Structure 1
């Protein structure tokens, strides 16, 4: 069973496409309200999570468990609870003897409590046949054995013979448990109903026995009622008993069995916990019947965590809430629009929960401060930042200056302070800086702050916080889910990878050249500051200034603003170019060699024999290529230049090579992509359609002096047009490749023009690239 549960958890934590990883579940969920901060540890198996099944130890080592407390009371508080625990957890029947050094065993022998000693030995002999530690689900999987039947009958007999009520009940519980593993539900009902049911005061033995009685009950409504009472009163049985609570049974039919308000509240609590959607009605009912109830507080905490997922996960990441199944094949833009609509709907629901919290009489509830903290967070969720901050300031005065609760308040306060600013004026205040430094390993918190800043127009500080998603300085107990994945509204459904976890990939797609310039100016202006926050904030990006100038220049290439591209490329030294794009050096940048400039974009074409003599040899870098391109354009556009056709042709080659089909695609991209994998970059059409290359080949044709060179120019124009058509009419899998090729070929106007104007050259130029050299030499 343990292995099976581990498999479920591992499978749920990683959702895989057939082609690779895609974030899922807890990896996506945004939550700033940590349940561990509020002390409801015994309910922790039911913390809101996308992991539906997650059994945990509900008692911490320093906590006394109910059974230990019961034995301690039985022993008159004369021994240590740790001695009792050692016997219960570690001793065998043979270890219970007069020579034992254990203080509890010594006490029982000293008081001549042989009845208790005999019971302990008997219980230890039963463990092999009914051990819950090896079967946390308590399911009917063990076959009835003669030995168990013998022990069952002996337990019943010993129960009847016992002189002490406490020991009699313990023997009866053992009998009920043995009957369960014998699948004797009739015996369970009989034993429970005659021994435990009529008791007026209940302890843990009653609820442990009721657990098995619940499973043996045939009436679904009564079983649900029993389950709810076990759930509240036996924390170590909560995970198992919750599986037997049938949510299809109407709550009203379950309530027929309740005699007290506490029992009614217990029913509504478990029903509310089992609900994965809105549970406000159940919160209200639990409050109505038992306001001073720890379970009510936990149900509120769980509801707040739900609203965090429903609001923050989509608001910050643009993913659907983590508990939903993402439909990855929906139209992306429509899907994201729907996500934003849902965020606003869920903020309205958060306001409804907030109204309920405001109506609660805090003098009646358990831990009024907890309710105030929840209220502060609900005010933030509903965007009432001013009221949230005011309440947080009040709460901070009454909480300890350290500890989890204070940490929660500071996190919510920091989010409020960033969000509660005008667009264009958002900054990271000193108060927020202090909170960030305390929580610098909480990546989703950092990302949320960055997102708020970005939404407020401060894209520079946003990028600096996003850079911390790349920070690997994590503690040993780092939460595996403490990682941010996010999408953008620009991505379309056909994008192979529509999510981000790296700041550079994100700003590559989303940031404008102006935003990049602002970021670089911010780094130059502030990165030398010696305060702790600045040192932390700029740690990565001040080392990556060359990468940022490379990116800025690349963005200007995408806009065909060559002069600005060159200006920024010149700010990068040759060491960087050699390491990142050169075959002469190898390091982290080009581990697979895919982004190396290994061919001159003006004179060489992929999959084409060399046909142009290289006259201007340059060491290939983005700077050199851009500079050369500017020079060639100047020459080609000079009306006094006699070789304008030649330079226009070289320019066309360079622009062609800067597309998907060329040898210098890295002038526009950081990874090569095919036309089956679209990106939201502004030059996407140019990258696949070769429009600029076609423009300059046309100019070369217009300035050509010979028919053979004009024919070669038409051939190159036709190649660009074919790429454009394949981009606009992508390959259809219901057609044969050959038929599809003919379809695209037939739609190509320029190949038709080539065939019409130069029929004798058409066959050579369209069937064999080796003729290109002859046609190029015929330029004069």
Structure 2
């Protein structure tokens, strides 16, 4: 898979905070998705929704802290089924879990025969009606309410409650004893008998009577033939009590049983298992079946962020039909993605991909990928797993990760999609999309037309998913509260921004790449509304791509598409967005692109489209008390770059373009003073570099790392290395006979040459900085002492007044000429 050459962009934000001479306030996108720290196309819920909290993540203990199922909903359904007669589970949940103290008082008076007028919300509650008509259920409900203050405990470690005072403990023991007596009163009512026993176990456990808790479970709960989630909750109590009775291996084993049997307590059981921290072999020895052994292996494996063949193989050998097999296989594929998928430099992934991806790590990942492909083939061929198609789709995807698109395509051809589950069929279509990208050629209407339905399908899946999240969380909160569930949204973003956009960039179709980056940005509402501004709803990756990569030719093509429509098969994908190509930010970007190419007349023409009230945000100095605005002054002459000297008033890009165009005209109209005009032109582009005081005239962001890291922008020659400035300083020197002026031009040429000392990546910078700190020669100082223009200054201009002034401010020059300078 092709990708852009990576650049340490994200980390520059970190460097800005710690090493920046001046902090710049620039606009930024929304908070990054905390789960989206690598490019992933294989959904973590493909094999089973019930184990999503244990999906791969190497940034935290769990992928998701929420239980896979709701205890409230499960208990409410059981009560609704027990009472029957039209009792609704939602009414049970409302009455049992979501009432305040005032409402509870009304309910209690009503159920105990008191005279009370029920509000409409309670009068229509079917659960309340069911309790009123069922005396045993009503008595249990009232008893449970009596226990509620003692059952609501504060935990230090999940199952270890804060200690109670003596009066509480006595009251809890009495309530536990009462619960057992009540259980005995209902020998044939398994529903209520089980729940009374559970209440007794809770009270014994929370009051510290752990032996009584265990005994209650074994005598009342374990023998019960009632099919209820309550049995799993009681088993968790027994597990905690067993641990307090100094049997940690037994406790961990019991929690492993809760883990598999009770999805509403699965996360809690997982945490408890690991909190106990007992030798794995001791727990495994207690297992009574291969299924239990497989679960214990899986629980341990879910805490392993590294490649893990042993767990996957062991679980499959022990329980090949278990859903844990698919979950563990998916985890390993997600681990592979962290090493083998490649992101555009403008994606959230950032600097650490290269920093922590040495060749040895890549080789290890590819070796593991080959093993995963073999395992997937085995899963498919042996057909012991409940959905063997997972093996075929997984193997195809792994081959795509390895760059074997043809082999991946051949594997998919053998899959009978109609027999796959919905989630696996969706995954099949995603892998198919990825494979088809390899066939795409720029401006190939046949291939684009063939892919359009699949891309529209993905867009619809993405929008449906977002609509569901908005319904649940609200428009303003869905993007972060539902982050873990927005799988198709992440897939679409990854596909458009990290596969399709780089693919078109490689084929030099930058305008289409720009639209694809734009398309990859997450929609901001229930519908993809026409964009009013270029950067509406865009995060940093897309905005940075547009602002850093688009040259005038691509932008002019986009402007044509904005006026006339996209004359390509993919036009329906972008029809809602093209209106933004007539907005102020677009014309500002086009004009800025022309500034970078030094076509100042064309820049002025683009800026002429701007509204009179358009004013992009100006950078400020975060470290000043008043956060002073940093006004540009591109024609300022300075000997030293730092501390930077800024202007005193605003200067727009249009004004800068007009001034530079005027200087170019003057060179032709007034050749006698051409040297001075060239020098001002050179100052203008020098100060718009990262090291200057007017970078905001050609760039939309700045960090201190721009001074020592190579850029990947088309204007990096100016922004990082002052190349055009050097051309014009050299021209100014050639046209002048004034030795003082020539010395000044030569010094500025020396400064431009110093800017060519740049590092390829942040790792090289740190390695060099560390070496210098250990006493090795400063490599930049060594580089400066070889500056050819320093040599010219020493040989030709040592007697000028300018050199004396320059040497007093530039220590590198002073060191160079010191032996020959009085």
Normalised by the length of structure 1, the TM-score is 0.69
Whichever of the two has the greater Rg, that structure is 1
Aligned to 1:124: 145
Correspondence list, 1:35-434, <5 A = 40-49=48-57, 50-53=59-62, 54-56=64-66, 58-59=68-69, 65=74, 68-69=77-78, 72=81, 80=87, 82=89, 88-89=96-97, 95-97=110-112, 114=136, 117-131=138-152, 137-144=158-165, 145=168, 146-159=170-183, 163-164=187-188, 166=190, 167-196=192-221, 203-217=228-242, 218-246=246-274, 249-312=278-341, 314-315=342-343, 335=357, 344-345=366-367, 347-361=369-383, 364-366=384-386, 377-378=397-398, 380-383=400-403, 385=405, 387-388=408-409, 391=412, 395-397=416-418, 408-421=427-440, 427=448, 429-434=451-456
- Equivalents in 2 of 1:342, 1:516: separation in Å? 42
- Equivalents in 1 of 2:376, 2:720: separation in Å? 52
- Equivalents in 2 of 1:598, 1:192: separation in Å? 76
Alpha-carbon distance change, 95 to 211 in structure 1, aligned in 2, over 3 angstroms? farther
- Equivalents in 1 of 2:602, 2:629: separation in Å? 20
Unaligned runs of 5+ in 1: 1-13, 479-483, 485-498, 558-564, 580-584, 609-617, 769-780
Contact 2:515 2:574 in 1 (8 A): no
- Equivalents in 1 of 2:127, 2:721: separation in Å? 84
Alpha-carbon distance change, 440 to 319 in structure 1, aligned in 2, over 3 angstroms? closer
Alpha-carbon distance change, 229 to 727 in structure 1, aligned in 2, over 3 angstroms? same
Contact 1:207 1:230 in 2 (8 A): yes
- Equivalents in 1 of 2:334, 2:495: separation in Å? 16
- Equivalents in 2 of 1:35, 1:147: separation in Å? 47
Q: CA deviation at 1:466?
A: 0.7
Equivalent position to 2:597, from 544, 556, 565: 556
Correspondence list, 1:504-523, <5 A = 504-506=543-545, 508-510=547-549
Matched, 1:535 2:575: yes
Q: CA deviation at 1:404?
A: 6.4
Aligned to 1:26: 35
Alpha-carbon distance change, 67 to 516 in structure 1, aligned in 2, over 3 angstroms? closer
Normalised by the length of structure 2, the TM-score is 0.66
Contact 2:333 2:398 in 1 (8 A): yes
- Equivalents in 1 of 2:14, 2:209: separation in Å? 41
Corresponding residue SS for 1:65? helix
> How many residues of Structure 1 are paired with residues of Structure 2 in the alignment?
681
- Equivalents in 2 of 1:399, 1:269: separation in Å? 25
Contact 1:158 1:171 in 2 (8 A): yes
Aligned to 2:542: 503
Contact 1:715 1:750 in 2 (8 A): no
Aligned to 1:757: 799
Q: CA deviation at 1:366?
A: 3.6
> What CA deviation, in whole Å up to 9, does each residue of 1:662-683 have, x standing for no partner?
6765565344565646451466
| Larger CA deviation: 407-416 vs 19-28 | 19-28
- Equivalents in 1 of 2:592, 2:382: separation in Å? 55
Aligned to 1:773: none
- The CA RMSD measured in Å over matched residues stands at 5.4
Alpha-carbon distance change, 15 to 289 in structure 1, aligned in 2, over 3 angstroms? farther
Aligned to 2:499: 452
- Equivalents in 2 of 1:193, 1:586: separation in Å? 78
Alpha-carbon distance change, 37 to 588 in structure 1, aligned in 2, over 3 angstroms? farther
Unaligned runs of 5+ in 2: 1-12, 464-488, 530-534, 621-627, 641-651, 759-764, 810-822
Corresponding residue SS for 1:575? coil
Contact 1:652 1:697 in 2 (8 A): yes
Equivalent position to 2:525, from 469, 474, 478: 474
| Larger CA deviation: 276-285 vs 523-532 | 523-532
Aligned to 2:699: 669
Correspondence list, 1:646-661, <5 A = 646-659=676-689
> What CA deviation, in whole Å up to 9, does each residue of 1:719-763 have, x standing for no partner?
55357558859999999xxxx99x99999556656874246x766
Alpha-carbon distance change, 289 to 669 in structure 1, aligned in 2, over 3 angstroms? closer
Alpha-carbon distance change, 673 to 634 in structure 1, aligned in 2, over 3 angstroms? farther
